Every structure is written in structure tokens, then in C-alpha cells.
Amino acid sequence: MFKIFVMSETWIQYKVEIVPEAFIIEDKTISNQMAIISFINANGQISEKLYRGYLTNDEIYSAIEKGECLNLSHCYVNDFSLSTYRKKHGMSADTLIEIRQFSAVGSVFDSLKVNDFSFAIFKDESVSFKNTEFLHGKTSFQGAIFEEGSANFSHCIFRNGNLDFSQADLVAGGIIFNGSEFGEGIKDFHYTRFGDKDVSFVAVMFGDGHVSFINTSFGDGDVSFSRAEFGKGDVDFHFTHFHNGNISFERTLFGSGNLDFHMIEFDNCKLTFNRSEFGDGDLNFEACVMKEGKMQFKRTLFGNGNVNFENMVMPNSDLLFDKSIFGYGNVSFYKSEFNNISFKSCQINSYLDLRIARSIYLDLTDTIVRDVVDMTPYDFKINIDSLDIAGMRLLGQINVDWKENALKQIIFIKNSDNRKLADQFRILKQNFNKIGRYDDEDLAYIEFKRCEAKAILEESIKEKKGKAFLHYPLYWFKLWVFDRMGLFATSPLRVLLSVLVTFLALAIIQYILPFFFETGINCISADASEITRFLDTMYYSGITYLTVGYGDCSPTGVLKFVANLEAFIGVFMMSYFTVAFARKVLR
């Protein structure tokens, strides 16, 4: 018989011939008949032949009925169907059929419709389909129960990619699909219950078509999809429950379909997507819950679809994206809760919503931001205990509020390096200028200059400890003149107050000095009252401070040196005020 099936690059059809000849492997007779499977390429030539034992379905069904062990290893099985078996015995469609000590290593299954193992109970030992090829027809293990041990499907080839594993129960065992390949079709694992042993889909090629693990329950073993490849079609894990263990999608390649991981429950797990690549479909982790553990997306390449991590509840778990590259879809963490969340050295090319409900530490160090990072609180308060943006390359902008986000407090909490602190406040200063929040820009600029001054002092002392006596006076001068007196020219009112204080201080000095030295002001008579002396001194100090110099009053003695100092301070302070005032007005 000939069957046409377009799948392989090397063959387009195959022929099965049953010959009355015993099939023997290692001096053991497998069957009294042999199947010769010839694969024919596009040129009509036989490209490959397989030799397998052959058992009729009546022989197989008879062994099942008698409760005998069922060994189909190295056999060709055609149109095997437990549904047909039930009909022959007048059973209902979901009657459980016991199969004992099943093995189908290196076998070939073939069917016009379905290779049907639905509602089977595999008894006694582990079940193995290792190196088996399903040539044609859908494969179904719907409702199957694997009572003991694991199910091994490693290095299987499912030419028809329609696999139904829904509602299967592995009780206490695990399952292995390592290195298996699927054609185009639906791979359905919804409502499957895996046991507490490992579940492994390492290096599986899922092919095109929908892959569903909806409402699946995984036990306490490790789960691995490392180096798996998904084709075109959606991948759906929503409502799945992972108990304890490591869950790995490391180096996995996802196709162009949507990926749905929303509302998954994680108990104590470590979920890893390191070095994976996502296609241009949407990625959805909305409303996932993790009691304790970690999610890692390190060095991951995201496609151009939207990435949704909204409303996640992970208050005791970390979420890490270090050195990942995000595509041009929107990325949102709206109203989610994390312990730590890290974007260290990431490249973010699109809108990033970081309106997080709760996080202990948010790490944005060395990130490249090309679009908008939104951290502005709207309908709820953003609770971030500590923020680090040192080394950020801000090509876009950060929507953030100095007061509402408590930026000064959350940046200082985890940082002690003044140079890094200065870098962060510099970035914020430039950002506030870009988005037109000039009052916030001034506040960031003040903290930048303060941290920079401390950093310069620390670095200077570290470089030349013997000259600390020179560095400290310079630092204190900057602290009082630039910071305390005018907030680095950001506050005209502060500068004006400093003008009044310095003018008053100099006037008092010039009023007191004549009591101790042979000095005075020539426009003040010796017999003038103290009130007159003070008011005239204030007048003289004012015209000196403002460098008016009417010429009606001039100092004598020591006050000449004070006059020079006052004139310099006056010019400096008025210039300082002009700069601060003009800076405010121009913006």
C-alpha cells in the first residue's frame, strides 16, 4: 500500500509491505511477520528502508484482553485504536483499558486517522516510546493514566503534528520528550497532571501549530523546555500550576505566535528564560503569582510584540532581565509586586511602564533607553524602596516626579558611592530638563553638585592624602558659598537672603571695629549718637556693597581693607543673584 505524506525533505511518500517472514533481533523472535517500509523521494527512488516486526491488531488486542505484557518494540503497528477495541467489546467511549508492561522502543505507528491510546491505564512499569516514529495520523493519549514510573517519548518523530495528551495523568511519574520532532498541528496538554518526577522537553522541535498546556499541573520535579523550538502558532500555558522545582526555557526559540503565561501559579520555583529568543507575537505574564523564587530572562532577545507583566504578585521573588534586548512592542509592569527587579545592561527600544505597586529594589544601571520609561504615579502610589540608574544611556525620557516618587530617598538608600550618586542625579537633571519639569530639574541638579563635590573630595584625598588640609577648605568653601548661599544658583530667594545676611554682617563689623581700632568713616561725626552712627554705617556699607560710591563717605584706617572686601563680596553676590534670577525667568 502507498501513502502520500508531505513532511520530509528526503521523501514524499512511503510504501509498506508485509511479508511472511520472522523478524529477529539479537536471536530473539519479535514477530512471525515482517514489515518493510520504503520511503520514496521526489524522483520516485527509494531513499530509505526500515525493517520492523509486524503484529496484527487482533494479536495486540488479544494480549490486552488477557492482561499480558504488551511489547511492541521494533514493530510496525497499523491503525492501533483503543476506541475500536472498546466498540468490539461493547464498552463506553471513556472506559479505562489496562495495558501491562508496555514498551514500543524503535517502533513505527501508522494510521489513516488516529494512533489511539486514549483512556489507557499503563500498569506496572515505566512506558517507553523511545525512538518511535508516528508516520501518519493524529496521536492521542487523551485521559491516559501512567500509574508507575515515567513515560519516555525521547527522540520520537510525530510526522502528523496533532498530539492529544489532554487530561492525561502521570500520577507520580514524569515524562521525557527530549529530542522529539513534531509536524504541523495542535499539541494539546491541557488539564494534564504530571507527577513529582522531572518533565523534560529538551531540544524538542514543536513545529507549526498551537501548543497548549492550559490548566496543566506540574509536580515537584524540574520542568525543562531548554533548547526547544516552537514554530508558527500560539503557545499557551495560562492557568497552569507549577509546584516546586526549576522550570527552564533556557535557549528556547519561540515562533511568531502569541505566548500566554497569564494567571500561572508558582509555588517555590525558579523560572529561567536565559538566552531565549521570542518572536513578534505578544508575550503575556499578567496576574501570575509566585510565592517564593526567581524569574530570569538574562540575555534574552524579545521580539516586537507587546510584553505584559501587569498585576503580577511576586512580593518575595526576584525578576531579572540583565543584558536583554527588548523589541519595539510596549513593555508593562503596571501594578505588579516584586522583591527585586533588574534591567541591568538592557537595551529598551519601546515604551516601558514601570508603575510598579511594590518593589524593594529597581535596578536600571547601564541600560539603554530609547523611548519612554513611565514611573509617574496616577491612580495608585508607586512603592519602590531603592532605585539605581547609574550608567543609564537616556536617549528617550523618564516620566517621573521628584516628590511623588521620593527620588532623593530611594536613590540614596542602596548607594554609598558618591560618584555613582552624582551620575544618577545628573541623568535625572538632564531628563527633567528634557520633559520641562524645571523645578524638579533644580532639585536633581542640587543633589548632583553635592554628590559631585563629595566625590571630588574623596578622590582627591585618596590620590594625595598628604594634601587633605588643602582639599577640605576648598570643599567647605564650595559647600557654603555655592550650596548654602544659593543652592547652586537655583534659588533667587535663597541668594537674595544671602545678600541681605552678608550685607548686614559687614555693616555690623564696620560698626564695631571703631571701638577697637583707630579707624572710622569720615562722614560720621565723633559726637553723633549711637543710633545715628549705626544708621550712617548702614548707609556707608550699602553704597560700598553695591559699589555706588557717592564720595560723601570714605573709610579710614582698618576699614579701608574691609571696604575692599565688601565691594568684592557685593559684586559677587549681586552677580550670583542676577544669574539665579535670569535662570528662573528664562525657563
Q: Does residue 240 contact residue 215 with C-beta atoms inside 8 Å?
A: yes
pLDDT at residue 466, rounded to an integer: 67
Give CA–CA dist 236/238, Å, rounded: 6
pLDDT at residue 172, rounded to an integer: 79
Other beta carbons within 10 angstroms of residue 148's beta carbon come to 15
Q: Does residue 382 contact residue 375 with C-beta atoms inside 8 Å?
A: yes
pLDDT at residue 412, rounded to an integer: 83
Tens-place pLDDT, residues 453-468: 999 888 888 887 766 6
pLDDT at residue 43, rounded to an integer: 83
**What contacts 249, CB < 8 A, 6 or more positions away?**
225, 226, 228, 271, 272, 273, 276
Q: Does residue 257 contact residue 281 with C-beta atoms inside 8 Å?
A: yes
Locate 311 and state its grid cell: 498585576
Mean pLDDT of successive 10-residue segments in the chain (587 residues)?
42 88 84 90 85 92 92 94 93 92 94 94 88 95 90 95 95 91 96 93 96 94 96 95 94 95 94 96 96 96 96 96 96 96 97 95 96 91 94 95 93 83 95 93 94 90 74 85 88 91 92 87 83 90 88 87 91 90 80
pLDDT at residue 12, rounded to an integer: 80
pLDDT at residue 123, rounded to an integer: 87
Query: Where do the DSSP E strands lie in 461-571?
Result: 520-521, 555-556
Locate 334 and state its grid cell: 503596571
Residue 76, phi then psi, degrees to nearest 5: -100, 120
Residue 541, phi then psi, degrees to nearest 5: -65, -35
Task: Indicate the pTM of the whole model.
Answer: 0.86
pLDDT at residue 421, rounded to an integer: 94
Q: Running DSSP on this structure, what letter comes out for residue 365?
A: T
Give CA–CA dist 534/97, Å, rounded: 113
Q: Tell me how many degrees the CA angle 228-233-335 measures, rounded to the nearest 5.
A: 85
Residue 187, phi then psi, degrees to nearest 5: -105, 110
Cα distance from N-terminal residue to C-terminal residue, the chain: 86
Give how far Cα 88 sits from Cα of 81, 83, 84, 114, 353, Å. 11, 9, 6, 17, 61
List beta partners, residue 317.
Answer: 293
Locate 520 and state its grid cell: 572710622
pLDDT at residue 468, rounded to an integer: 65
pLDDT at residue 451, rounded to an integer: 93
